[in-house]
């Protein structure tokens, strides 16, 4: 009972996602910004590669997200990360602010630089096709 109350409290505390976009709309926006069409194969390569140009604890996207975006990942502190692939997690890529926040943080952590609009389009295009 106590646990149910806690779950309800946590649900109430979780802010609703903005649901102000979709993977397709994000891809179109990033494509327009980049001036090039999205390339899912390039997105896959970028996502699965070991970069090591960012922070030492996060050499790759797969460090936390694993190499299977349809499965859950895990933060370095042991917390579950919901799957990135929209087919496994429909909430993905439906909130512009959230997408920008995490690209901003994680490209810096993994690559040591910001991702380009083309790279964002590529990654979302690959993930959306899974």
Partner 1 sequence: MIRSAAFGLSLVMALPALADEDRVPPVTHAATQEECGACHMAFQPAFLPARSWQAIMAGLDDHFGENAQLDDATRAEIEAYLLSNAATRIRSVPDTVTPMKISDLPWFKREHGREVSARMMERAKTMSNCVACHRGAERGIYEDD
* Inter-CA distances, 58 with 66, 75, 92, 98, 120, Å: 12, 10, 21, 20, 18
Which of the stretches 29-37, 45-53, 72-80, 117-125 binds partner 1 when contact is defined by CB under 8 A?
Answer: 72-80
57 is a site residue for partner 1 (CB under 8 A)? yes
Q: Residue 111 or 121: which CB sits closer to partner 1? A: 111
Q: Which listed residue (21, 36, 89, 106) binds partner 1 by CB under 8 A?
A: 106
Question: What is the C-alpha to C-alpha distance for residues 87 and 50, in angstroms, rounded to an integer?
Answer: 25
Question: What is the C-alpha to C-alpha distance for residues 16 and 102, in angstroms, rounded to an integer?
Answer: 17
Q: Residue 13 or 35: which CB sits closer to partner 1? A: 13
DSSP bridge pairs for 114: none
CB of 23 to partner 1, least distance (A): 21
Per residue, what are the HEC states of 78-116?
Answer: CCEECCCCCCCCCCCCCCHHHHHHHHHHHHHHHHCCCCC
Q: Which listed residue (4, 11, 15, 19) binds partner 1 by CB under 8 A?
A: 15
90 is a site residue for partner 1 (CB under 8 A)? no
Q: Which listed residue (62, 88, 108, 130) binds partner 1 by CB under 8 A?
A: 108
User: Which residues of this chain interact with partner 1, rule CB under 8 A?
Assistant: 6, 10, 13-15, 55-58, 74-79, 101, 104-106, 108-109
């Amino acid at each position: 009972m106590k646990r149910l109350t806690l779950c309800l409290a946590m649900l109430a505390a979780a802010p609703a996602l903005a649901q102000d976009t979709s993977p397709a709309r994000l891809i179109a926006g990033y494509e327009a910004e980049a001036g090039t069409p999205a390339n899912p194969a390039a997105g896959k390569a970028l996502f699965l590669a070991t970069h090591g140009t960012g922070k030492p604890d996060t050499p790759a996207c797969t460090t936390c997200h694993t190499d299977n975006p349809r499965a859950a990942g895990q933060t370095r502190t042991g917390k579950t990360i919901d799957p990135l692939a929209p087919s496994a997690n429909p909430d993905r890529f439906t909130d512009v602010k959230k997408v920008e926040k995490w690209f901003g943080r994680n490209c810096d952590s993994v690559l040591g630089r910001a991702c380009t609009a083309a790279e964002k389009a590529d990654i979302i295009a690959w993930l959306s096709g899974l």
